[in-house]
Amino acid sequence: MKTLVFGDVHGNATALQAVLEQEPEFDSVIFLGDAVSPGPQPNETLELLSELDGIFIRGNHEYTMLNPDSVERWPDGFKAFMHWIYDVFDPSGVDFLTDFQEPGLFEVGDHKIVLAHGDESPDVRHVLPDMKAEQFGPFTYGETQAPVLFGHSHIQFRRTIAEQNFINPGSVGQNRCGHVTACYGLLEDHDFTFHHVNYDPTPWLQALDQIPALDAHESFRGWFRQQMITGFAAGENEPWLTYAAQGYR
């Protein structure tokens, strides 16, 4: 059984299409959350995701999509961006996102795996490769042996803690380590492997430029565009510069 494992698309249908073209054959998917926002291709992303069969886990951006009031204290540019997404998003997408499952223990094939988004800890924004072991605890959901697949921090890595494997396939749509590449993983029987595919971001950039709601927020649009061009979706700062120098994706 071959399972495509990915997450954090964030409305980047261009990147997701590149993944699906590189991996045309698989039996099912595991999606680890954050599907359509904040990104300029929400409906295109919805169309691609809705054609896939598998397990879809709810992330923090599913919450923002289903609860528009949650963005009212965001910076003006981000808020305008999200309001545009709410306005143009196909109504069928609301039902699709509502059906995403809560994180927890799942049976995948003949083995059990914990599937989490990775934002479970209220004290740690992103769980990263070199963090203390206890920071990984909140998304084990009480399991001490089952492997854990999680996203949210947008960096590919594997960490073993007390014989329990924690695996992050990276982000499809918003790389943070200086690469214009879509990251994902493959689970074949009990073996997990990391993969990535480079892509031309031009369609994504063109979609961003065509959002009328951002005409009054050109500084935000320029900042968001620069993140895609550089591959540093959280900005060219630490710890991402160090991770990039260490070869992470």
Would the pLDDT of 121 be above 80?
A: no
List, in sequence order, every beta strand (DSSP E) within 109-190. Answer: 111-115, 148-149, 156-161, 164-169, 181-188
Determine the pLDDT at residue 110: 85
- What is the Cα gyration radius of the chain? 17
Structural domains of the chain, count: 1
CATH number of the domain that residue 185 is part of: 3.60.21.10
Residue-by-residue DSSP string for 220-238: HHHHHHHHHHHT-TT-S-T
Task: Give yes or no for a contact between 156 and 170, defined as CB atoms under 8 angstroms apart.
Answer: yes
List the end-to-end C-alpha distance of the chain, in Å, as a whole number. 26
Would the pLDDT of 127 be above 80?
A: yes
Question: What H or E segment, with its residue span, contains residue 65?
Answer: helix 60-66
Reduced to 3 states, what is the DSSP secondary structure of residue 55? strand
Domain that holds residue 85: 2-245
Task: Give yes or no for a contact between 137 and 144, defined as CB atoms under 8 angstroms apart.
Answer: no
Sign of the Cα torsion 150, 153, 157, 162 reads negative
For residue range 188-226, list pLDDT tens digits in order: 988 999 999 999 999 999 999 999 999 999 999 999 999
pTM, two decimal places: 0.96
Q: Which amino acid is at 234?
A: A
Mean pLDDT of 64-73: 96
